[in-house]
Amino acid sequence: MAEIIEKLITTDEIKTDEYLVNMGPQHPSTHGVLRLLVKLEGEIVHNVEPHIGYIHSGIEKMSEALSYPQIIHLTDRMDYLSAHMNNEAVCLCIEDALQVQVPERVKYIRTIIDELQRLASHQLWWCASGMDLGALTAFFYGLRDREDILDIFEETCGARLTLNYSVPGGVMFDIHPNFQAKVKAFIKKFRKILPEYDKLLTGNIIFQNRTKGVGILSKEDAIAYGVTGPTGRASGFSCDVRKHHPYSAYPYIKFDEKVGTDGDCFMRWKLRMDEMRESLNIIEQLIDNIPEGDYALKMKGVIKLPEGEFYQRVETARGEFGVYIVSDGKKNPYRVKYRSPGFSNLFAINHIAKKWKIADLVAIMATFDLVIPDIDR
Amino acid sequence: MTNEQLIEHLSAAFPDAVVKQGKQYPEITVSKEILHAFMKNLKSDTKLAFDYLVCESGVDYPAFIQVVYHIESTSLQHFLIVKCNTENRETAVLDTVMDIWPTAEFHEREIYDLLGITFNHHTDLRRLFLDDTWGHPLRKDFKDDIHVVER
Amino acid sequence: MAFEKYDFTPLTQAIHKALIENVSPLLTLIIEWTIIGVLFLLFIAVFGLLLVYVERKVCAAFQQRLGPMRVGPWGLLQTIADFVKLLMKELITPKSVDKFLYNLAPFIVIIVPFLTISVIPFAPGLQALDFDIGIFFVTAVSSVGVIGVLLAGWASNNKYSLIGGMRSGAQIVSYELSVGMSLITMVILAGTMQISEIVEMQRGGWFLFKGHIPAVIAFFIFVIAGTAETNRGPFDLAEAESELTAGFHTEYSGIKFAFFFLAEYINLFIVSAMATIVFLGGWMPFHFGDWAGFNNVMDFIPGLIWFFMKVFGIIFLIMWFKWTFPRLRIDQILTLEWKYLLPINLFNILLMATMVLLGWHW
C-alpha cells in the first residue's frame, strides 16, 4: 500500500507543481522587512531564499565619515534589542586600541546593563515567537514584564530602547540611586513570573508537538554556517563569547554556559528560557558588589585611534557581535565592519527548513530570533 | 595553541606567507594564488582545525583591496586573521572559500555587493543589499551624486 | 410546572390567529415569513456584534488588559462603530480575481448561519422550523459553508488565500464527521432527530447526565470538533495570521469582509447552541433529583435566559481555548481527527447503542 502511494505521489500526472510565495517584505511573522522567497509544493517547503536589504542603512559607510563617539550612536540602531551590547562592543574596541583601563565600577555597570538588556530581548523574543505559533496571550505577558526593565533603563540613562549608555572610557551617567533596589525588586518579581511563562507555553502539548524535532540544526552545520548565540548553543556549539573571551565584569563571576544537544526548535526555546534564569544569576552576583569609583574616565575631546586594525567580539542576545575597525590614525575610522549575529544565523534557515511545512518555517524563524536591522545594517 | 605556537607552526608550514603578531591576534597574509589551498589546509590540518569563519570583510586600501578573514577553531580555541590582497581594482578577483565554510557564501555576496570583488567558483554571486543601479559604495572612490551630498 | 408560563406558544398562536382571521392564508404566510426573516436578520446582526464585543473583553481579561473602553460605557459601542466603519469602507476588488465567484463567496458563507439558526429553539415555542429531521438538517446545512470558504480562497487569486482555503477545506470536511458522529451518538440516546422532542426529553435531566460516560465523551468531542469547524483557535489554520496573513479572506474588504467575520461568530453561536440543545437540555432549567425547593427556584428563571446562559458558557469555553493554546499544524490537525477523534467516536456510538439497548442510562 505504502509503495502504491509512494508511486502515486511521485508520478508526474499527480505530482503538484512547485510554486513561489513571497513571505514578506510585509508579513506578520518576519518581524520586519525581511523577504523570504519560499518555494512550496502544497504546504511543503522546498527552498527558502532570503532577500534582504530593505532597510539597509549603510551604517558601515556612514561610520567612515563620523568620529568614534558618533559611531556608537549608530550601532544601537542595528540590533535595537541588544543596543547596549553593540555600544559596548565599539567602546571596548576603542578602549582596547587606546590601551586604557576603564574603572572597575564601569565594568560592573556595563555588565549589569548587558544582562538586563539580554533579559529584555529574550522577553520580547518569547512573546513574539509565542505569537508566531498562534498563542497571542503570550505576547501581552512578555511585553508587560519587559516594561519593568525598560523603566530601569529609562531611569538610568533616559532612553528605553536605544540606550547610548556606553561611551569610550566609561558610561555616560552614573547609575541612579534607586538602581540597585529596582533591579533587585525586578529579579525577585521575575523569578516568580518565569515559571508562569513555562506554564503557559513550554509545558503545553500542542506547543511541544509544534516544536520538538522540528528544524534540526546539527552542530557541524551550526559551526559551518557560523550560527552563534542561543541558536547555535542549542545545537551544541559552545560559542558563548562571555565564557571563551570574557570582557567587562564577566571574568569575575561564575555562570554556566548553557549548551543544548538537540538543535530543534524546542531546544532553542528552552535554551533561551534557561538563559534568562542564568542572566538573573549573573545580575544577582554583581548588583550588590558594584565598587565605588568613577563612572567614566576623562577622555580627550577628540579620540584618535592609533594606526592599525582592531577586532572586538561581544555576546549580544542574538549571538556573537564583532566590530572590526581599521584606523589610519585620523579622528574617524578608515573602515568599520560589523559582524552581526543575525546575518550569519539567517542564512542557515534555508538549510534546515527544507522538507518542513510552511507552519514549521514560521516556528523556525521564531526560534531563530531575527532582528532585521541587525541583518541589513 | 597559544599565539606564539600558532605563528611558529604557520611560518613553518607556509614559508611563502607573511606571518606576524598583530595588535591582538596573529595575522597572516597570503597571496591570492594559494588562498584557496591555504584555507583548505587551515581547516583540514588537525593541529589547526579552523572550522569557524567568524567574519569576512573587505577593506579598500589606496594600493590594493584586501579581504580579511577572522577565523577561529572551536575545538582548539585559537584565533587567526588571514588577509589576502588584490591589486587589480578594475577586476578584483579572488577565490571563494564557500566550499570550506558555507557561511562565506553570504559574506562574499556582501563583499561583492559593497566592494565589487568577484569570487571565483562562487555558486550564487549576486548582489545582496543593493540593486544593480548602484556602484560599490564601500570603495573609497565611490561617488554618488544623488544620495550623498558632499560637505 | 412554573416555567410553563414562559411558553411563547400562546403568543405565536395569537399572532397567527389574528392574521388568519383578517387576511388570506397566502398573505398570512408571507407576513409571518417576513416577521421571522426580519427577526433573524436583527438577531444575527446584533448578536454577532455582541459576540465580537464579548470576544474582545474575554480576550482582554486573559491578557491582563481592559479591552475596548473608549467608545460608549465600557466600550459597548466599539463594535457598532467598527461595523459602521466596515459598512462605509470601499469595496476593493483586486484586478485579477474571478469576479463572479469572488463576490459570491461571502454570501454563501453568510447564508449558512441563516439556514441553521431556523431550527434552533430559543425558548419554549420560539422555534421557526421544527422538522422531524432537525439534527440531520443542521449537519447537512452547516457543511455548505466550506464551499464559500473554498470559493473565497480560490477566487481571490492569491496564494495565501488558496493555502488558507485548502487548509480550511481539509479541516472542515474532516471535522464535520466528528460533529455528525457525536450528534448521532446522542440521537441514539434520544431516539429522535426532532429538535423540539430532544429538548422535551431532557425535562427529567440533561442528556449529558442521562447518558453519562458516552454522553460526556460525545460532549468533549463535539466541543473540540465544533471549535475546529468554526475555524477558531487553536484550529484557526485557515486564517493563521502569522503564517498566511489572513488566509482565505485576505483580499476582501468592507462589508464582504464583515460577512466572513460575522459568519464566524454566528457559527460559533450555532455550535454552542447545538451543544446546549443536544447535551445541556436546551432551554430546560437545571434540576437536581428531588430537591423540590431548589427545582422550583430554577423554574422561575425563564427558558430564554437558561438557553443563553448555557450558550454563553460554551462560547466562553471556546474563547478560552483560543486565547490559551498555540496553533496546531495542518498534519497534526488531521491526525487528531482521523487517528484519535474518529475511532473514539465510532467506539462511543457502539458504547451508547449497547447502553441504550441494555437500559443502563438514567
Find the domain containing C217 and state its range: 91-358
A65 vs C: CB within 8 A: no
Residue at B128 is within a domain = no
pLDDT tens digits, C196-244: 888 888 877 777 777 778 888 888 899 888 888 888 878 887 777 667 7
Q: Check pLDDT > 80 for residue A166.
A: yes
Pick the more confident residue, A154 or A15.
A154
Say whether pLDDT at B150 is over 70: no
- The answer to whether A69 and A49 are in contact (CB under 8 A) is no
Where in the sequence is the domain holding B37, given as residue range(s)? 3-91
Strand, coil or helix: C333? helix
Chain B: partners with 3+ C-beta pairs within 8 Å: A
Mean pLDDT of A66-93: 88
Residue B2 falls in which region: left (phi positive, over 0), alpha (psi -120 to 50) or beta? beta
Q: What letter does residue C143 receive in the DSSP assignment?
A: T
pLDDT at B151: 64
Taking the CA of residue A64 and the nearest CA in chain C, the distance in Å comes to 39
Q: Taking the alpha carbons of B117, B118, B123, B125 in that order, is the dihedral positive or negative?
A: positive
pLDDT digits (tens, 9 = 90+) for A19-71: 888 887 888 777 778 888 888 887 888 888 888 888 888 888 888 888 888 88
Average pLDDT score, chain A: 86
Contact A206 C327 (CB under 8 A): yes
d(CA C145, CA C147): 5
Q: Is there a contact between C326 and A144 if contact means CB atoms under 8 Å apart?
A: no
Chains touching A by CB (3 or more pairs below 8 Å): B, C
pLDDT at B15 over 80: no
Confidence of residue A10 (pLDDT cuts 50, 70, 90): low
Contact in structure between A260 and A234 (CB atoms under 8 Å): yes
Segment (H or E) for C282 = none
pLDDT at B4: 77
Q: Are C171 and C333 in contact (CB under 8 A)?
A: yes
In a domain, B81, yes or no: yes
CB pairs under 8 A between A and B: 78
Sketch the domain layout of chain A as residue ranges.
Answer: 56-376
A203 lies within 8 A of chain C by CB: no
The answer to whether position B106 is within a domain reads no
A285 close to A57: Cβ distance less than 8 angstroms? no
pLDDT digits (tens, 9 = 90+) for B32-48: 888 888 888 888 877 77
Confidence of residue A173 (pLDDT cuts 50, 70, 90): confident
Contacting residues of A for C326, CB less than 8 Å apart: 130, 133-135, 201, 204, 206-207, 210
d(CA C195, CA C274): 10
In a domain, C341, yes or no: yes
Domain A56-376 has CATH 1.10.645.10: yes
Q: Is C245 on the interface with A (CB under 8 A)?
A: yes
What pLDDT is stored for residue C133 in this prediction? 85
| Half-sphere exposure in the Cβ direction for B98 (13 Å, CA) | 18
Distances (CA, A) of B66 to A61, B94, C54: 17, 10, 64
**Alpha-carbon span B110 to B133, nearest angstrom:** 16
Q: In chain C, which stretches have pLDDT less than 50?
A: 1-2
* Dihedral sign from CA coordinates of B72, B75, B78, B84: negative
Q: Is residue C270 part of a domain?
A: yes
- Beta strands B18-21 and B26-30, pairing class: antiparallel
Q: Which of C159, C167, C331 is facing A19, going by the closest CB pair?
A: C159
What is the predicted pLDDT for the residue at A11?
60
Domain count, chain C: 1
Structural domain total, chain B: 1
CA A283/CA A158 separation, integer angstroms: 21
Residue B43 covered by a domain: yes
Q: Record the cell numbers describing residue A48, joined without a space.
A: 527558502
Considering the domain boundaries, does residue B34 fall inside one?
A: yes
Give how far A20 is from chain B: nearest CA, Å: 19
Report the C-alpha gap between A363 and C283 in whole angstroms.
44
State the alpha helices, DSSP H only, in chain C: 9-22, 25-62, 78-88, 99-117, 134-142, 145-155, 159-190, 195-201, 207-210, 212-229, 241-244, 254-279, 292-299, 303-322, 330-335, 342-358
pLDDT of residue C128: 76
Q: What is the pTM of this model?
A: 0.86
Q: Given CB atoms, is B76 within the 8 Å cutoff of chain A?
A: no
Q: Which of A225, A326, A335 sits opposite B102 (nearest CB)?
A: A225
Beta bridge partners of A322: A313, A339
pLDDT at site C140:
87
How confident is the model over A8-26, as a mean pLDDT? 72
- For residue B128, give the nearest of A52, A223, A320 by CB distance: A52
Q: Which residue of B has its CA nearest to A375?
A: B129
Top pLDDT among A151 and C4 is at: A151
For A308-363, how does the pLDDT look when each residue is reduced to its tens digit (9 = 90+)? 888 888 988 888 898 998 888 888 888 899 988 888 888 888 888 888 888 888 88
Give the distance from residue B99's alpha carbon to the nearest chain A alpha carbon, in angstroms: 10
Give the chain A residue nearest C246 (alpha carbons).
Answer: A28
User: Is residue C26 assigned to a domain?
Assistant: no
Q: From the CA of B30, how many Å to the nearest CA of chain A?
A: 17
For the segment B87-143, what is each residue's pLDDT rounded down to a tens digit? Answer: 888 888 888 888 888 888 888 888 888 888 888 888 888 888 888 888 888 888 887
What pLDDT does A12 receive?
Answer: 60
pLDDT tens-digit profile of A177-210? 888 898 989 999 999 888 888 888 888 888 888 8
Query: Chain-centre distance of CA B136, in angstroms?
Result: 17
Q: Any chain A CB within 8 A of the CB of B85?
A: no
Query: Can chain A be said to touch chain C, i.e. do they have 3 or more Cβ pairs within 8 angstroms?
Result: yes
pLDDT, one tens digit per residue, over A244-300 is 888 888 888 888 888 888 888 888 888 888 888 888 988 888 888 888 888 888 888
**Burial of C62 (C-beta count, 10 Å sphere; 0-12/13-18/19+):** middle
CATH number at residue B23: 3.30.460.80
